[in-house]
Amino acid sequence: MSPARATHAPIVMALTGASGAPYGIRLLEQLVRAKRRVSLIVSSHGLRLLRTETDVEDVKGLRAAVGAKPFDAFVTTYDDADRGAAPASGSSRSAGMVICPCSMGTLASIAAGTSRSLVERAADVTLKERRPLVLVPRETPLNAIHLENMLRVTRAGAVVLPAAPGFYHRPRTVAQLVDFVVARVLDHLGVEHALVPRWKGGGT
């Protein structure tokens, strides 16, 4: 897909059950702020995560957190149980997919190609159509199975982008740490932003 056409295609975004709900909320906020269409899938464990880590109780709460007007303008929601929804088909255009946060269970299912849910099927479609797939895991420490699955999806074409913020921008708040990771995700999705200053090099 050409860059011009990709701009008009939606980005598929999923939230699953790995700790890191603030990353997902901030990413969605930035995507709609950039006026990018989003096909949103929140798994049942993703909903539980939102309730546990934030004040967001459901998709309506997520809409309020992001902003009702931009949410309604740019976001289409899909049920994770609906494997016949648009993101499940390669003939449905998209500009790629991001799973933020991405649980190790979801990553393992993508690595195995099981496609048991819409999130998993959409990721499988993204890989087979050679579109960008960004997975944002938040787990520590990592065992050999985690590492092998990360290698497997990377070899299949995905970008594994752990929620591991840097500190060279001298963050003073949790929000700045969140923005660091979200900025890297946006870079890999080709979405312009000004969340954090970029490294310009320099000596000691």
Q: What integer is the mean pLDDT of 74-103? A: 97
Q: What integer is the mean pLDDT of 188-197? A: 93
pLDDT for residue 6: 44
3-189 homologous superfamily: Flavin prenyltransferase-like (3.40.50.1950)
Contact in structure between 134 and 144 (CB atoms under 8 Å) = no
pLDDT tens digits, 136-145: 999 999 999 9
pLDDT for residue 169: 86
Q: What integer is the mean pLDDT of 72-79? A: 98
pLDDT for residue 7: 54
pLDDT tens digits, 108-129: 999 999 999 999 999 999 999 9
Averaged pLDDT of the chain: 94
pLDDT tens digits, 4-27: 344 589 999 999 999 999 999 999
Flag whether pLDDT at 79 surpasses 50.
Answer: yes
What is the side-by-side strand order in the sheet with 159-160?
A: 75-78, 38-42, 11-15, 97-102, 133-137, 159-160
pLDDT for residue 4: 37
pTM score above 0.75: yes
pLDDT category of residue 199 using cuts at 50, 70 and 90: confident
Task: Report, in angstroms and rounded to the nearest whole number, the Rg of the chain calculated over CA atoms.
Answer: 16
Percent of the chain with pLDDT over 70: 95
pLDDT for residue 3: 41
pLDDT tens digits, 147-178: 999 999 999 999 999 999 999 889 999 999 99
